[in-house]
């Protein structure tokens, strides 16, 4: 009897029980569920908070002043005085009408426009003239006509800033006077002379400085 019981034990050990099979199946399902949850978490992280350098390059806004010096408009009708419009984001500001400088042959503005920008923004500079007609008693002002425009990336301006001592005003970061070609319908229509100033430019940020949450491995 003991010999037959001992011979039967190996056979019993080789046959898996239904409970063991259930545990194996449950473990496999749990592993698959964990993988699915991991992929879902990764996708949700990518949708909710994408780890893109553009998020860090946006940075904090700062005040940038544009010194509008002059504009040379060879093909412009001299009877219509131009003005300069500056746009950044959703805000737009404009100068007064320019004065003609006979000696230099340019329209002089000598105005400063200050805009709040981020280093990833673009500043759009437009030279335009108002359509006005004299009606003896009054002037009829119509919509303005664009003479030429140019878009300047703020990041390119920051690279040209140099520190300058202005005595009373203190230390200011400035650029030299820069000439920008004015374009309309793909054709050069003139040239604007502009310089930039700011008291506190934003610190340079690296594209590798990602959000700390993205360092957890949830998204790439």
Domain positions in the chain are: 2-48, 57-198
Supply the pLDDT for residue 33: 53
The CATH class for the domain spanning 57-198 reads mainly beta
pLDDT band at 142 (very low <50, low <70, confident <90, very high): low
Distance separating alpha carbons of residues 131 and 141, to the nearest angstrom: 6
pTM of the model: 0.62
> Encoding tokens for residue 135?
């009606």
SS3 at position 140: strand
pLDDT grade for 68, boundaries at 50, 70 and 90: very high
Pairing mode of beta strands 106-117, 171-174: unpaired
Task: Give the CA dihedral 167, 172, 178, 184, nearest 10 degrees.
Answer: -130
Between the alpha carbon of residue 215 and those of residues 55, 97, 157, 204, 211, the distances in Å are 15, 53, 32, 21, 7
Instruction: Tell me the three state secondary structure of residue 98.
Output: coil
Mean pLDDT of 151-166: 94
């Amino acid at each position: 009897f003991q010999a037959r019981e001992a011979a039967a034990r190996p056979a019993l050990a080789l046959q898996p029980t239904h409970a063991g099979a259930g545990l194996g199946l449950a473990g496999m399902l749990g592993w698959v569920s964990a993988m699915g949850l991991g992929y879902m978490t990764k996708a949700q992280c990518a949708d909710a908070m994408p780890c893109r350098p553009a998020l860090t390059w946006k940075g904090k806004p700062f005040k940038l002043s544009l010194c509008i010096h002059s504009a040379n408009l060879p093909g412009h009708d001299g009877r219509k005085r131009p003005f300069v419009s500056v746009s950044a984001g959703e805000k737009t500001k404009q100068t007064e009408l320019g004065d003609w400088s006979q000696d230099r042959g340019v329209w002089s503005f000598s105005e400063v426009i200050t805009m709040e920008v981020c280093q990833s923004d673009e500043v759009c500079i437009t030279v335009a003239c108002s359509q006005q007609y004299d009606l003896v008693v009054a002037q009829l002002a119509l919509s303005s006509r664009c003479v030429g425009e140019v878009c300047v990336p703020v990041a390119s301006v920051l690279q040209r800033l140099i520190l300058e001592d202005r005595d009373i005003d203190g230390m200011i970061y400035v650029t030299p006077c820069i000439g920008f070609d004015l374009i309309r319908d793909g054709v050069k229509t003139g040239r604007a002379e502009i310089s930039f100033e700011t008291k506190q430019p934003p610190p340079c940020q690296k594209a590798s400085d990602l959000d700390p949450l993205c360092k957890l491995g949830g998204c790439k």
